[in-house]
Structure 1
Amino acid sequence: MKWIIFVCLFALALSKPAYEPINLFYHERVGIPKAAAIKRSEESSDFSGSRIVGGTPATLSDSPWFAGLILYMRSGATSVCGSSLLSNTRILTAAHCWWDGRSAAREAVIVLGSLTLFTGGVRRGTAFAEMYPGYDPRTLHNDIAVLSIGFIGFNNDIRPIGLPSGPDLDNDFFGAVAQISGYGRHGDLYGLPTDQRLHVVNLTVIANEYCQVFFAPSVVVPSRLCTLDTRRGTCGGDDGGALVTRNMVIGVASFTSVAGCDRNFPVGFSRVTSFVSWINAQL
């Protein structure tokens, strides 16, 4: 009888899905080394590659709401994320860009209207970040934050992105093609060209049930949104960026697989419709 029980338990263990782990502790693993690489690239004027996986070079009119984040950490290091402009004084990003459970930012510089991160554009400093009260850096659940900045005027290159409203609050956006921009790296090989200029890519939203084939259901909760495209997605340095369709932000870049960003795994976003009321309260 004991042998039968052992065999049954062994068979159950074999049948249990082997879920893909997600990246945690973003800054030391990704953001800090990427900020250094992007800065070196800009200083050397090495503009021959891309960052967003499978993307193309952007123009300012492609995503005038995009804001680069240069984060000055309490450790003294410099890190990088993406974000999006919501109003003249508010920026939307991922909570882990401000605090990933191990590394915390003390202040940030928001870069608007620029194809480059460390030079050009309109810049505002801030030390004011409001993270969603239920944010958990151990799971990246509720990975949303709003930053307060000094007043920014709008023009052709700097404009806010809208939030879902009305019927779209009940939209799961399954099958939607949405755009994301970023300065993040092109792929997992560090020898790739290091052009740090802004790039943009279109991504396809998949059902959460399909995303759960790759990541555990405890990771892909209802307040998540996933995309999956062949060799297209976000990569190191793109976290916090806005996934946009029909001139509204539907996702905030939250996580990729630990296996890498060009291995054809889904990309995880915070589903903005789950947080609209809270976000509006911060505006």
Structure 2
Amino acid sequence: MFLYNLVICVVLFACGVANAKECADCVSLRSCQGAVNLAIERKDDASKRLFKSAFCGYANGEPKVCCSDFQESDEVLSHPNLPLLPSDCGDIDGSRIVGGRVAKLYEFPWMTLISYNTRDGLQFQCGGSVINSKYILTAAHCVVPTKRIAGVRIGEFDVTSRVDCQGDQFKPICESNLQDILVEKIITHPEYQGEPPVQYDIALMRLQTPIDFSFKNAAPVCLPVPRSLRYTPLAGRNGTVAGWGATEKGTDSNVLLKVDIPIKTGEACRRFYNKNSLPGVDRTDKSICAGEYKKDSCSGDSGGPMMIEEDYEGSFRLVQYGIVSYGPRQCGSTFPGVYTDVTKFVKWILDNIEP
């Protein structure tokens, strides 16, 4: 009894005045053995954050938790390749302007352009994100065999300028470093389906040479590795999408743009994209729907990240939750865009990266 009371004290301290979240398995703490075990075994900041994120209310003065957040066997946190994903990731540029159209010069240093050999020469047609010095995360439809990939570019901002500058005209901040790297290996999800309904639209690109992170315009984005991030509800929050894709004017942008978009509920996503599915079949269960009228990703943004600012191991970082996958033919319409849900594929990513 004393041990259980101690567990209750730890959980109450961790939850504090946290907002209660909604989940299908909100149970009393004593009914969730995984939560009890964690409270006994660990009292570090990471476990306290997990309790805070899993808190879903009180019953008779006892805290209740979303028990699925405390699965005893966590194949991600115990994965042997987890150290290959850097913990120094997703750094936020303190000077960024939230809601602005043009990104700041160093705001998204993980943004990647994929170049292709076409009849008209080299062209950038998709994006991606740096997840470590050797791997780019992108959409499977960007790297299918019919695509003749030339390489990837890290550090780009304005595709028409060799030297990119921003700020005061008398004291501008300028950057000239670019890294163009060849691709050694492409790994697409084995269950990828490109024809509607699009499924498992995710791929990895292993680079021939490592990215040099000594430059300010090259860094990895965070992935939702902590359990509290993999299970956090996203509906009603805003995500940020960046890219050089087609704009409302119908042409690709020369400079890196960003847009903040509202994330829809799973039910809303199903209403938009499950109309022709068989009964009991949910073709959006591994996707996120986001966007609204005049705010959306578009064709040239494919493969790029949808990010959310999160508390990541004690500091605020940008975490990639989505990969631009597909959407309505008319970008920025009343239909939201669809993003591959990265939380559903963290283990797959770990399974397929190598030192």
What TM-score do the two structures reach when normalised by structure 2?
Answer: 0.58
By how many angstroms is 1:144 displaced?
Answer: 0.1
Matches within 5 A, 1:205-244: 205-216=263-274, 218=277, 220-244=283-307
2: CA distance between counterparts of 1:173 and 1:55? 22
1: CA distance between counterparts of 2:160 and 2:140? 22
Q: Give the SS at the match of 1:200.
A: strand
Question: Residues 112 and 97 (structure 1 numbering): CA distance in 2 closer, same or farther, change over 3 Å?
Answer: same
2:241 maps to: 180
2:112 maps to: 67
1: CA distance between counterparts of 2:150 and 2:270? 34
2: CA distance between counterparts of 1:160 and 1:80? 21
Question: Residues 128 and 118 (structure 1 numbering): CA distance in 2 closer, same or farther, change over 3 Å?
Answer: farther
1:134 maps to: 191
By how many angstroms is 1:79 displaced?
Answer: 5.3
Question: Residues 281 and 230 (structure 1 numbering): CA distance in 2 closer, same or farther, change over 3 Å?
Answer: same
- For 1:182-207, what per-residue CA distance to the aligned partner results, in whole angstroms no more than 9, with x for missing partners? 010112x54x6x54111111111111
The question of 1:252 aligning with 2:323 is answered yes
The question of 1:159 aligning with 2:219 is answered yes
By how many angstroms is 1:119 displaced?
Answer: 5.8
By how many angstroms is 1:75 displaced?
Answer: 11
The question of 1:281 aligning with 2:338 is answered no
Q: Give the SS at the match of 1:237.
A: helix
What TM-score do the two structures reach when normalised by structure 1?
Answer: 0.72
Question: Residues 130 and 94 (structure 1 numbering): CA distance in 2 closer, same or farther, change over 3 Å?
Answer: same
2: CA distance between counterparts of 1:273 and 1:263? 26
- For 1:115-138, what per-residue CA distance to the aligned partner results, in whole angstroms no more than 9, with x for missing partners? 134664211121521001111111
Larger Rg: 1 or 2?
2
1: CA distance between counterparts of 2:118 and 2:190? 21
By how many angstroms is 1:72 displaced?
Answer: 2.7
By how many angstroms is 1:228 displaced?
Answer: 2.3
Runs of 4+ in 1 over 6 A off after TM superposition: 74-77
Count matched residues. Answer: 223
2:150 maps to: 108
By how many angstroms is 1:279 displaced?
Answer: 0.7
2: CA distance between counterparts of 1:94 and 1:126? 15
Question: Residues 123 and 205 (structure 1 numbering): CA distance in 2 closer, same or farther, change over 3 Å?
Answer: same
The runs of 5 or more residues in structure 2 that have no matched partner are 1-98, 163-177, 310-317
Larger RCO (CA within 8 A; separation ≥ 6): 1
Q: Give the SS at the match of 2:132.
A: coil
Q: Percent identity?
A: 26
2: CA distance between counterparts of 1:173 and 1:72? 38
The runs of 5 or more residues in structure 1 that have no matched partner are 1-53
**8 A contact 1:106–1:127 mirrored in 2:** no
**8 A contact 2:115–2:123 mirrored in 1:** yes
Comparing 143-152 with 167-176, greater Cα deviation is found at: 167-176
By how many angstroms is 1:220 displaced?
Answer: 4.4
- For 1:230-283, what per-residue CA distance to the aligned partner results, in whole angstroms no more than 9, with x for missing partners? 31110120010000112211000000112x102221010000011100112223
1:11 maps to: none
Question: Residues 195 and 224 (structure 1 numbering): CA distance in 2 closer, same or farther, change over 3 Å?
Answer: closer
1:266 to 320, 336, 340: 336
By how many angstroms is 1:108 displaced?
Answer: 3.2
- Which letter does structure 1 place at the counterpart of 2:325? S
**8 A contact 2:291–2:332 mirrored in 1:** no
2:181 maps to: 124
By how many angstroms is 1:61 displaced?
Answer: 1.9
Q: Give the SS at the match of 2:229.
A: helix
- Which letter does structure 1 place at the counterpart of 2:111? F
